[in-house]
Structure 1
Amino acid sequence: MLLTKFTHACIRLEKAGVALVLDPGTFSEAAEALDGAAAILITHEHADHFDQTEILAALSRDPALQVFAPAVVAGQLRTGAPESAARIQDALPDTEFELAGFSVRTFGGQHALINPRIMPVANIGYLIDGDVFHPGDSFTVPDGIQAQTLLVPIHAPWSKTAEVVDFVNSVRAPKAFQIHDVLLSEIGLQFVEGQVSLFGARYGVEFRHLAVRESVEI
């Protein structure tokens, strides 16, 4: 399976000529990531993970494109593209399904707390083919499985570096790559990734930074 990193939280997975895209948001190259994709997974409703305009355009272009997203997001898409409603499904926690040839398992249910005055929204983490785990905006540790590849929210308004390190060490995936990184300066990114790499290695985690549009076979 080929994993390609786009800006911020957007990831494209490809196998056997079929592509699945996770979290094409407004901070990402959403149109590029979605080009030719067979399916989309959205973790939650925040714009940095959900570019509604580009996703609606993709649904209009491709009559076979499928989308799974939390109910609020799915509802918005069905309103914007009623002709595509049958291809837009609500993603629920603790479920398993097949999507465009990929096996998908869901975890979690709630976005990490940003501020006590801001109500958390629904957030679904996705495990793809029993291998790649995209947590969205949460530190939910998938239970009952051993993820092989972890996508690490390296920085966010709702987290601190110690929590990022603890999350990586708790999941203990052999490989880890950064997501949710656009708000950090180059110096800040090097610092946080250095901490993740240093302490993760003690738990058998090999962390690697991916540049925008860089791909890696997993």
Structure 2
Amino acid sequence: MRVTKFEHAALRIDKGADVLLIDPGSFTSPLDDLSGLVAVVLTHEHPDHWTPEHLDRILRAAPGTPIFGPAGVAKAAEGYDITVVAPGDTVTAGSFELRFFGGTHEVIHSSLPVPENVGVLVDGEFYYPGDSYAVPEGVEVGTLAAPLGAPWLKIGEAMDYVLAVKPRRAFGTHDMTLSVAGKTMHRQRLQWATEQNGGEFFALEPNDSLDL
């Protein structure tokens, strides 16, 4: 498999001829070359993780592509055919096996609602938690896409999350709210956390890829 990072939270995973997209949202440029697309995963309803414009463009290029997300996504994306998934579910999309974890978004502030959120484990190898610190219990994570910056994120908690997951490889995502200096600093902190358990950290920029 190969994972490609796009702006902010958007990820593409290629496996043979099959393609999986995760969280194409408002900070992500239009995605092209969607041949082979077998599924889209939306971890939660916030617009930095999905937009109607992205879904419309994707569905024009690949009609009938299944879209997986929690119930909150199905409600927010009314008019789209969303297959609702919840923590504990496992589904197959093309040659991919998708297992879902988590349940809720991290708290931004007590005055704001806490939406549903699912993390997704792809083929038992690659894990992306969405906006959550949910640890996929009982899983040895090969590669972790770890959030770098967000209104809900404190870097010490993000470091503790990487320490808890213990991935063999990690890279930062969810990073468009950070300055260049802030992104560099947060990457250094997550690199340290990854290396404490013998893992390797990669600094991926948009359109960079990592072979898994």
TM-score range, shorter chain: over 0.9
What pairs with 1:121-160 in structure 2 (closer than 5 Å)? 121-160=115-154
Gaps spanning 5+ residues in structure 2: where?
A: none
What pairs with 1:58-97 in structure 2 (closer than 5 Å)? 58-77=58-77, 79-81=78-80, 85=81, 88-97=82-91
Gaps spanning 5+ residues in structure 1: where?
A: none
Identify the residue that residue 189 of structure 1 maps to in structure 2. Answer: 183
* Contact residue 40 and residue 68 of structure 2 kept, 8 A: yes
4+ aligned runs moved over 6 Å, structure 1? none
Relative to structure 1, is the Cα distance of residues 141 and 30 closer, same or farther in structure 2, using a 3 angstrom cutoff? farther
CA distance in structure 2 between the aligned counterparts of 1:76 and 1:190, rounded to whole angstroms: 34
TM-score by length of 2: 0.94
- Greater CA drift, 68-77 or 183-192: 68-77
Relative to structure 1, is the Cα distance of residues 213 and 198 closer, same or farther in structure 2, using a 3 angstrom cutoff? same
Identify the residue that residue 98 of structure 1 maps to in structure 2. Answer: 92
Aligned mate of 1:175, from 166, 169, 189: 169
Residue 157 (structure 2) pairs with residue 163 (structure 1) = yes
Identify the residue that residue 50 of structure 2 maps to in structure 1. Answer: 50
- Which is helix-richer, 1 or 2? 1
- Alignment partner of 2:32: what SS? helix
* Contact residue 141 and residue 171 of structure 1 kept, 8 A: yes
What's the offset of the Cα at 1:137? 0.2
What's the offset of the Cα at 1:138? 0.6
CA distance in structure 1 between the aligned counterparts of 2:101 and 2:178, rounded to whole angstroms: 27
- Greater CA drift, 142-151 or 47-56: 47-56
What's the offset of the Cα at 1:156? 1.0
TM-score by length of 1: 0.92
**Identical pairs, percent:** 35
What's the offset of the Cα at 1:189? 1.0
Q: Read off the aligned partner of 1:189 and give its amino acid letter.
A: K
CA distance in structure 1 between the aligned counterparts of 2:193 and 2:119, rounded to whole angstroms: 23
* Contact residue 6 and residue 33 of structure 1 kept, 8 A: no
What's the offset of the Cα at 1:18? 0.9
RMSD of aligned alpha carbons: 1.5
Identify the residue that residue 26 of structure 1 maps to in structure 2. Answer: 26
What's the offset of the Cα at 1:64? 3.3
Identify the residue that residue 15 of structure 1 maps to in structure 2. Answer: 15
* CA deviation vs aligned residue, 1:101-149 (integer Å, no higher than 9, x gap): 1001100110000001111000000000001101000110110111110
